[in-house]
Amino acid sequence: MIRLFSDPEGNYVLEALDLGRVELGRTTKYKMYMKNIDPTWSVHNIKAETSNTELKFEYPETLSANEVREIFVYWTPKLDSKKPLSSEFKFTGEVYIG
């Protein structure tokens, strides 16, 4: 029910992120858009899950049906990082039917 897009109109689904080059130890902020693609039900208690401690997220706790909201990903590479970031993350939430 939750999809990520690079544009607020929802034309470009994000399958992968290229975060480019950043300075070590400096936080870089990336904006994207989260949409609840369900036409009827809201999504509650949204959570971001990742095993990478270099990534932080700012996102809404709830999305109404068809709602689009900005979200932010913050990447702060560790000073001992020698490789490009390769990490997975996902967003989960709850739907209350009834």
Q: Is residue 90 part of a domain?
A: no
CA distances from 84 to 18, 20, 59, 61, 75 (A): 10, 9, 24, 30, 12
The predicted model gives 59-77 an average pLDDT of 94
The predicted model gives 37-43 an average pLDDT of 95
Q: Is residue 79 part of a domain?
A: yes
**pLDDT at residue 78 greater than cutoff 80:** no
How far apart, in whole angstroms, are the C-alpha atoms of residue 1 and residue 44?
11
What is the domain count for the chain?
1
Q: What integer pLDDT is reported at residue 86 of this predicted model?
A: 64
Name the residue range of residue 8's domain: 2-83
Q: How confident is the model at residue 85 (pLDDT cuts 50, 70, 90)?
A: low
Q: How confident is the model at residue 89 (pLDDT cuts 50, 70, 90)?
A: confident
The one-letter code for the residue type at 87 is S
